[in-house]
Amino acid sequence: MNRIVAISVLVLFAGFVFAQETAEMQVLELQSGEVKCGTVVFQSADVVVMETEAGEKFQYPAAEVRQIRAATDADLQQDTGWMPVKQTPAFGMIVAGQGGLCSVPQHGATGFVDLHMILGVRNLLPENIFLGAGFGYTKIFVPDNPSRFIPLFLHLNTSFQKKRFSPDFSLGAGYMFRVDGDMGSGLFSELSVGGRYCINSRTAFHIGAFFRVQQTTAELRRVIENETFGYEGNASIFGGGIRVALSF
């Protein structure tokens, strides 16, 4: 239930932001044929001033403006409108929810859910790289005794193309600190592959499949000469599922 609520909130929020940004965007067409996407912040009989998503302002004589109209999705696909040709490094944040199934020693397949917040720097060289550090909450739904962890990790995200729709790749690695449950703390790493949809020059929606390996200590069993012995040892938890995120 927690996983469903978290993912639903992210999707609804992304849709709301997209609707707001698209409604505000306009297209300014000049007599020369040049097209500019942004928001008209000043207009008079002599001059028109437009501000782009990047915060850049452009001033044009009113006599050179052919028309001003609402932006369509096709207009927003152009780099000169929704995303500047050149972007500089800036503070960024990613909020992510993910969940799926994992294999737990002595319990088999069971569900798990993660919530992550990542702070870092976006538009690194090349400009489509985000690098940061994050923390979160992980719950593994072991029957009768759920295990909870606080993950601390480094995170790298990149999209291979500077387009509104593009493939998306992320990699994370860190340490899971046990809060409660039978399983112990340990290192983990995860890989996610999917797609990115740019809502505007600063905000993007990510969705994809991910795979994770987590080291832990657990109560294990070994059969020796037809007798079963219990002991605590090192083990690995393998898991995967769906990841949904919003970056801004």
pLDDT of residue 81: 45
Neighbours of 231 (CB within 10 A): 8
Q: How many Å separate Cα 216 from the centre of its chain? A: 27
List, for residues 150-209, the tens digit of each pLDDT value. Answer: 999 999 999 877 777 889 999 999 999 999 988 889 999 999 999 999 887 788 999 999
- Give the end-to-end CA distance of the chain in Å, rounded to a whole number: 26
List, for residues 29-40, the tens digit of each pLDDT value. Answer: 888 877 788 888
List, for residues 5-20, the tens digit of each pLDDT value. Answer: 444 444 444 444 444 4
pLDDT of residue 235: 86
Options 3.20.20.80, 2.60.120.260, 3.10.129.10, 2.40.160.20; CATH of 87-247: 2.40.160.20
CATH 2.30.30.100 domain span(s) along the chain: 18-82
Taking CA atoms, 107 is separated from 51, 99, 101, 111, in Å, by: 58, 18, 12, 11
List, for residues 41-67, the tens digit of each pLDDT value. Answer: 898 988 999 887 667 788 889 898 888
List, for residues 192-213, the tens digit of each pLDDT value. Answer: 999 999 887 788 999 999 999 9
CATH 2.40.160.20 domain span(s) along the chain: 87-247
The CATH code that applies to domain 18-82 is 2.30.30.100
CA distance 105 to 53: 50
